[in-house]
Amino acid sequence: MTTDFPTESGLAGAQSPSGRATIIDVRITPIAFPDPPLLNAVGCHEPWALRAIVEVDCGDGLVGLGETYGDASHLTVLRMVAPLLVGLDPFRTEHLRSVVDRLLGTAEAPAEKLGPAGGMGPEKTALRVFSAFEVACLDLQGQAIGRPVHDLLGGRVRDEVPFSAYLFYKWARHPGGDADRYGAALDPDGIVAQARTMVRTYGFQSIKLKGGVFAPDEELDAIRALRAEFPTLPLRIDPNAAWSVATSRRVAAETQGLLEYLEDPTEGLAGMAAVAETAGMPLATNMCVVSFDHLPEAVERGSVQVVLSDHHYWGGLRQSVRLAGICETWGLGLSMHSNSHLGISLAAMTHLGAALPQMAYAADTHTPWQLGVDVVEHPLTFVNGAVPVPTSPGLGVRLDRDALARLHENYLRQGITGRDDTGYMRRFHPDFDPAKPRW
Ligand code: GKR
Ligand code: MG
């Protein structure tokens, strides 16, 4: 296989030697959309969340879409790679991967500084960058041959992909801002009220609580209150490694029979393995197993029983299918992680979830927190907590150009260039310390 950078010139409707249209233009548009004051172990979401929208254009009327992180350092590397796609056949994604690897897969590649998005680390820059372009190329491929993206991943094994309600402790409003429709959630009653709203609105059939905000016993009270209110729905809690091994073991013992899994109670493969030794439920992660080379040690130590995939940092949809196969081989369960995202990411997650027989858990999504704002014309919707799998060509979502322009205008106006939950929290609580373990 050649790993040469593409050299064909970018002409409208240009064709590769295979006779297929080649890429003539790649557009990357940073956007910002309102984000509620969601609390987590490292601080609070700022009033704006950032994303970057990727358009890969073949000049024949077909445009493939991707959505990824919008932090300034990620935009820099996306923009370094974008011109290299011009002249490339969008069906040759493995070639594209080698191009990206060659440019970014080295120690000298520009460093990215991303907020607490999960799956971080400089060695993953190439995978994060490739992913956004891979999804756009798969969207193009699907449109070109008239098949949905899940058909390019092995075909769908389900007609709807279940997602879980993702609850957050939160303030009623950003300081100086307006209240949002969810209101405050700072105790068990607030969390149960939030869950009721989400379950009523979206029909979710499982619930995840973002923990690591209050002392574990307070968060356990919230879990018990959720169990009382929703006796049959599977529950999870994720304190993002804010607990010591001893605290995690105690919490696991006290939530025996209450949780379908316990997500990232403590930091690192060794710590998680120590918790797993005594925990009665599976441990899940999007923090200590975030790349293929973490898997052997995780399996050997028995650190986790469920891996949360995320195509944004595992290297795209096909790499995520590969991850699912490895998990199956080693008897690990598979679930799906999310960060603040819009409808292109939701579509990509849905196509992936549709094609993974191994997905035995409802996926995470931040969609309810985006309060109806989107960058696509007709976002996929939730029916009884699951997204019906699109059967139209490609990802099945179309860019809303007016919305893109508006959200880009937000980006230019609001001034945030990278996620900084800790810095934002410290503006109001200067002593806030995100050091782990806190409890
Ligand atoms: O949105 O605050 C958040 C989450 O805490 C997110 O940053 C995490 O990456 O949802 C993620 C998780 O499951 O850890
Ligand atoms: Mg997590």
Indicate the domain borders of the chain.
25-150+403-413, 154-395
Is residue 170 part of the annotated active site? The answer reads no
Query: What confidence score (pLDDT) does residue 6 get?
Result: 35
Residue pLDDT tens, the chain, 439 long: 333 333 333 334 566 555 678 999 999 999 999 999 999 999 999 999 999 999 999 988 899 999 999 999 999 999 999 999 999 999 999 999 999 999 887 767 777 777 665 555 556 889 999 999 999 999 999 999 999 999 999 999 999 999 999 999 999 999 999 999 999 999 999 999 999 999 999 999 999 999 999 999 999 999 999 999 999 999 999 999 999 999 999 999 999 999 999 999 999 999 999 999 999 999 999 999 999 999 999 999 999 999 999 999 999 999 999 999 999 999 999 999 999 999 999 999 999 999 999 999 999 999 999 999 999 999 999 999 999 999 999 999 999 999 999 999 999 999 999 999 999 999 999 999 999 999 9
Q: Please identify, by atom number, the ligand 1 atom nearest to the C-alpha of residue 116.
A: 7
Half-sphere exposure of 420 (CA within 13 A, CB side): 10
Domains 25-150+403-413 and 154-395 share a fold: no
CB 343 within 8 A of CB 53: no
Q: How far is CA 55 from CA 1, 62, 136, in A?
A: 26, 10, 7
Dig out the tokens for 225 from the structure. Answer: 């209150």
The residues that bridge with 209 in the sheet, in sequence order, are 167, 237
Q: In a 3-state reduction of DSSP, which class is residue 236?
A: strand
Give the C-alpha separation, 22 to 144, whole Å: 12
- Does ligand 1 come within 6 angstroms of the Cβ of 118? yes
The pTM of this model reads 0.95
Is residue 95 part of the annotated active site? The answer reads no
- Does ligand 1 come within 6 angstroms of the Cβ of 365? no
For a mutational test of ligand 1's pocket, the pick from 335, 338, 422, i.e. the residue with the most ligand atoms closer than 8 A to its C-beta, is 338
Please state whether beta strands 261-263 and 283-285 pair in parallel, antiparallel, or not at all (unpaired).
parallel
Query: What confidence score (pLDDT) does residue 5 get?
Result: 33
Dig out the tokens for 109 from the structure. Answer: 């590649």
Q: In a 3-state reduction of DSSP, which class is residue 27?
A: strand
Query: What confidence score (pLDDT) does residue 378 get?
Result: 97
Q: Which of 150, 174, 210, 436 is catalytic?
A: 210
CATH: 3.30.460.10, 3.10.129.10, 3.30.390.10, 3.40.50.2000. Which one for 25-150+403-413? 3.30.390.10
Dig out the tokens for 364 from the structure. Answer: 């995470």
Q: Which of 174, 337, 366, 436 is catalytic?
A: 337
Query: What confidence score (pLDDT) does residue 108 get?
Result: 74
* 36 contact partners, CB below 8 Å, separation of at least 6: 45, 168, 170, 174, 180, 182, 369, 371
Dig out the tokens for 158 from the structure. Answer: 């389900």
Query: What confidence score (pLDDT) does residue 17 get?
Result: 53
Q: How far is CA 400 from CA 57, 231, 376, 393, in A?
A: 16, 40, 5, 17
Residues with CB under 5 A from ligand 2 (ion): 238, 263, 286
CATH of domain 154-395: 3.20.20.120
**Helix or strand (DSSP H, E) at 43:** strand 43-44
Task: Measure 91 CA to ligand 1 centroid, in angstroms.
Answer: 32
* 334 contact partners, CB below 8 Å, separation of at least 6: 306, 307, 308, 309, 323, 324, 327, 328, 356, 358, 359, 360, 361
- Does ligand 1 come within 6 angstroms of the Cβ of 238? yes
Dihedral sign from CA coordinates of 371, 374, 377, 381 = negative
